[in-house]
């Protein structure tokens, strides 16, 4: 067990901070919003709940949910235009404070790149710092599956991305922040995990996080001290 003051020191001296996106950086679960938009909300949100609880392998859950939703390119574009995701209060300030301190900020998501890139642009995070799943479409715009080669399509994918970042950029300390079991599993290789319950509290994460917050103001406060 690392003491809380040690964790705080690690957070304040991190050279990279990685955020989960759905229910962390934004208030919604992107896949559930897409399901709602495509008229299959109930069946899909039940599957998301099971997947987030760690009951179903991630890729299987993703395949199953997307097979139900069958989102076309046009539906994804309309979702972003008509129902853009809502940023979680405090995230904009936290990201910009980290960037002022020359900390690299990454978004690592089991959600969809088109939605996550939209969120990244709102936070001035370059798209090269986005790791997420790519939807595939046929030439007529119909759903054609997703890119199964992306590390984020697998269980344990977020940890693979963090390992990759350490190898590529030689980061000494990486912090992972997120609401779900897949975020917590990314530490290690992340050096610190901070559980976030500001949008939804997942009991398993709350119970097993050494540091659990429900408001990004707490982290902003750490950086100001």
Specify the DSSP class assigned to residue 85.
P
184-191 contact pairs (CB < 8 A, 24+):
184/208, 184/209, 185/155, 185/156, 185/158, 185/159, 186/18, 186/108, 186/158, 186/159, 186/161, 186/162, 187/159, 188/159, 189/159, 189/162, 189/163, 190/18, 190/159, 190/162, 191/10, 191/14
136: its two tokens? 């595939």
146: its two tokens? 């997703």
Q: Which residues are catalytic?
A: 20, 22
Number of H helices, E strands in the chain: 11, 8
Evaluate whether 167 touches 159 at the Cβ level (below 8 Å).
no
Residue 39 φ/ψ, nearest 5 degrees: 80, 20
Tokens 């900020």 belong to 105
CA-wise closest residue to 62 among 160, 132, 162: 132
């Amino acid at each position: 067990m690392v003491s809380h003051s040690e964790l705080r020191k690690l957070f304040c001296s991190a050279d990279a901070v990685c955020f989960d996106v759905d229910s962390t950086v934004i208030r919604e679960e992107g896949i559930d919003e897409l399901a709602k938009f495509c008229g299959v909300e109930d069946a899909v949100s039940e599957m998301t709940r099971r997947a987030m609880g760690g009951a179903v392998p991630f890729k299987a859950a993703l395949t199953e949910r997307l097979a139900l939703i069958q989102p076309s390119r046009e539906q994804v574009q309309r979702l972003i235009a008509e129902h853009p995701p809502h940023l979680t209060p405090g995230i904009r300030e936290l990201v910009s404070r980290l960037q002022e301190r020359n900390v690299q900020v990454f978004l690592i998501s089991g959600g969809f790149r088109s939605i996550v890139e939209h969120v990244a642009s709102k936070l001035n995070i370059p798209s090269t710092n986005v790791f997420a799943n790519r939807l595939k479409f046929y030439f007529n715009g119909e759903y054609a599956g997703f890119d199964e080669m992306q590390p984020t399509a697998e269980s344990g994918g977020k940890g693979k991305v963090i390992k990759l970042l350490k190898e590529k950029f030689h980061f000494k300390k990486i912090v992972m922040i997120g609401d779900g079991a897949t975020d917590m599993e990314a530490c290690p290789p992340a050096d610190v995990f901070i559980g976030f319950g500001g949008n939804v509290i997942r009991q398993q994460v709350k119970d097993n996080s050494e540091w659990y917050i429900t408001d990004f103001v707490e982290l902003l406060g750490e950086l100001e001290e």
